[in-house]
Structure 1
Amino acid sequence: MYTLYDRFTLRGQHHIRTWEQEGQSWAAYSNYRQAAAHGLYIPQPVLNLVVRGEKRIYDGLQVHHLRAGDVFLIPSGSVLCSEILRPSEDYASINFFLPSDLLATQYAAAGTGKHLVGTTLTLSPSSQWQQLTQALLRDFRKEGGAPSYENMMDRVLHLLHRETITVKQALAGRPSVPMQQMMARLHKGIHEVQLLEEIAAMGNMSLATLKRRFRETYQCSPMQWIWAKRLQMSALLLRTTEQPVPEIAYSTGFADLSHFYRQFRRCFGMTPVQWRRGENELSSK
């Protein structure tokens, strides 16, 4: 159901340019000239700088509406949906893979308290972020090599260090190795899982350990998290496809249509048909 996001290339892109360090991509400029939709599992932190256009990020009970100038942080272990809106102009953004080990160690050592995993955040816009975005655009347009990875990361991490304690808690959070192993398998079949024992087996954990680690990592029970990810995918499909509502419900893991309608209304405050029509915009900034 969700695709692993470990490289910057995605379906529907018109153009992409990436920078590499020791054979690994660490930053990319990409643009879209048509609407696009993606369901993604993101194992390492990503920083997204929106250059032009608009998109929605579906993250459980929240839908973030991003516009040019916004800076968006996606922590380790996130499972989300992204909708590039049908643009009057093309959509363009710059993305960074952030060094998760360094961030987790740095901010945990700084005593940030509670660690947030998979909690996406829109950062407060500032002139410093705008200056960085414009400098990066100039660099991406130049022919030849990329700027120094170390220098650019120092600049990005300096700006992140000036953000709120909530941002630092998100950067300090990182799923444990067993949770990472489980998520590497679970993200593909969220719609198929029926029993908690199936999830526990993916991470070679006992049921009690699964529940404890899920609560520590995502601040909710495993099945609460599963239902939230099924609902966010159904919300994306309602907005981006013409599939009938029952087909969307069944394809995202709901065996009972009335249960789907109840859960959808509870989550988004309206029926699936109202959501599809766009009768109300659910967004957070």
Structure 2
Amino acid sequence: MYTLYDSFTLTGQHHIQTWEQRGRSWAAYSNYRQPAAHGLYVPHPVLNLILRGEKRMYDGRRVHHLRAGDVFLIPAGSLICSEIMRPEDDFASINLVLPEHQPGCSDNGPAAATLMLSPAPHWQQLAGALLRDFIQPGALPDYESVMCHILHLLNKEPATVKQALATVPSPSMQQMMVQLHSGLHEVRLLEEVALMGHVSPATLKRRFRKTYQRSPMDWIWEKRLQMTALLLRTTDLSVQEIAYSTGFEDISHFYRQFRKCFLVTPAQWRQGKN
């Protein structure tokens, strides 16, 4: 249902170029020339710089419409959907994996959801400099220098941005998510999720509330609805097929939950009425 985003390579890409540090990719320039849709579990914080084109990012009840010049922050432990739009346009972006623990940040509060950062000249300057290095054959910027500059820029952002970078899911939560992201549509009981993380249901509830600000099962239903929203916009599958494939067993229940979440019916959503 969702795939692990442990590398920058995704289906539908026309071109991708990556930089590595100690055998691990930390930055990528990617290009699309056709529409594409992905459901992703993102274990590490990622900064997304949009260079050209448009895409939608689905995060629970929110759908972010990103255009050239936008900057998007994805915290560690996020389960999101991405839709590359407008096949007649070229889409390009730069993605950077950020360090998970930021100096001066506390991890006592809840993790923030995905965030769009306010447009600012310094982000455009950063994107332009990175793009020039990607285009230049053999260029490989120093990892420490680039990260130091990015963290300096992020430090100027509001407290919500710092909090998004500060909180990292616990090891047991990460272990659970590795199993849960691909089988989200099959989960029926809270005890099944707790077993994945080798914790008690009570501990799972407490940790989920701290990290995602909601109960485990509410979060699961929200992420199922998020996937249905993506599939309605990007496939020709019937509403019933989409509902069943994402874990809904009762179509009436699906319609009620979808309308409660997105304030329109599935058919209206598919038509862009949102």
Give the TM-score category using the shorter length. over 0.9
Secondary structure of the corresponding residue to residue 56 of structure 1: strand
Q: Pick from 105, 115, 123: which aligns with 1:121?
A: 115
Cα distance in 2, alignment partners of residues 181 and 23 from structure 1: 23
Residue identity matched to 1:116: A
Deviation for aligned residue 1:237: 0.3
Q: Note if contact 1:106-1:172 (Cα within 8 Å) is conserved in structure 2.
A: no
Partner of 2:270: 276
Once the two structures are superposed, residues 145-172 of structure 1 have per-residue CA deviations (whole angstroms, 9 ceiling, x without a partner) of 3110011111111110100000011111
Residue identity matched to 1:53: G
Cα distance in 2, alignment partners of residues 99 and 79 from structure 1: 19
Deviation for aligned residue 1:113: 6.0
Residue identity matched to 1:107: C
Partner of 1:24: 24
Deviation for aligned residue 1:89: 1.8
Q: Note if contact 2:108-2:167 (Cα within 8 Å) is conserved in structure 1.
A: no
Partner of 1:143: 137
Q: Note if contact 1:3-1:187 (Cα within 8 Å) is conserved in structure 2.
A: yes
Instruction: Show structure 2 runs of 5+ residues with no match.
Output: none
Deviation for aligned residue 1:106: 3.7
Secondary structure of the corresponding residue to residue 107 of structure 1: coil
- Give the paired residue count: 274
Partner of 1:51: 51
Partner of 1:255: 249
Partner of 1:86: 86
TM-score (norm 1): 0.94
Partner of 2:105: 107
Structure 1 segments of 4+ aligned residues over 3 angstroms from their partners = none
TM-score (norm 2): 0.98
Once the two structures are superposed, residues 227-253 of structure 1 have per-residue CA deviations (whole angstroms, 9 ceiling, x without a partner) of 000000000000000001000000000
Secondary structure of the corresponding residue to residue 28 of structure 1: strand
Cα distance in 1, alignment partners of residues 124 and 252 from structure 2: 47
Secondary structure of the corresponding residue to residue 191 of structure 1: helix
Q: Note if contact 2:37-2:83 (Cα within 8 Å) is conserved in structure 1.
A: yes
Deviation for aligned residue 1:116: 1.4
Deviation for aligned residue 1:107: 1.1
User: Superposition RMSD on alpha carbons, in Å?
Assistant: 1.1
Question: What percentage of residue pairs aligned between the two structures are identical?
Answer: 68
Cα distance in 1, alignment partners of residues 15 and 241 from structure 2: 33
Cα distance in 2, alignment partners of residues 209 and 256 from structure 1: 30
Partner of 2:63: 63
Instruction: Show structure 1 runs of 5+ residues with no match.
Output: 281-285
Partner of 1:190: 184
Secondary structure of the corresponding residue to residue 139 of structure 1: helix
Residue identity matched to 1:114: G
Deviation for aligned residue 1:99: 1.0
Partner of 1:97: 97
Secondary structure of the corresponding residue to residue 184 of structure 2: coil
Partner of 2:5: 5
Q: Note if contact 2:111-2:210 (Cα within 8 Å) is conserved in structure 1.
A: no
Residue identity matched to 2:163: Q
Q: Pick from 147, 157, 163: which aligns with 1:153?
A: 147
Q: Note if contact 1:53-1:87 (Cα within 8 Å) is conserved in structure 2.
A: no
Residue identity matched to 1:150: E
Residue 231 (str. 1) matches residue 225 (str. 2): yes
Secondary structure of the corresponding residue to residue 228 of structure 2: helix
Cα distance in 2, alignment partners of residues 261 and 237 from structure 1: 15
Structural mapping, 1:207-246, within 5 Å? 207-246=201-240
Once the two structures are superposed, residues 105-143 of structure 1 have per-residue CA deviations (whole angstroms, 9 ceiling, x without a partner) of 5411xxx862315x1000001000001111111110001
Q: Note if contact 1:47-1:98 (Cα within 8 Å) is conserved in structure 2.
A: yes
Once the two structures are superposed, residues 79-100 of structure 1 have per-residue CA deviations (whole angstroms, 9 ceiling, x without a partner) of 0000000233210000000011
Cα distance in 1, alignment partners of residues 67 and 48 from structure 2: 11
Q: Note if contact 1:44-1:75 (Cα within 8 Å) is conserved in structure 2.
A: yes
Partner of 1:174: 168
Q: Note if contact 1:31-1:93 (Cα within 8 Å) is conserved in structure 2.
A: yes
Residue identity matched to 1:16: I
Cα distance in 1, alignment partners of residues 139 and 34 from structure 2: 29
Deviation for aligned residue 1:259: 0.2
Q: Note if contact 2:109-2:210 (Cα within 8 Å) is conserved in structure 1.
A: no
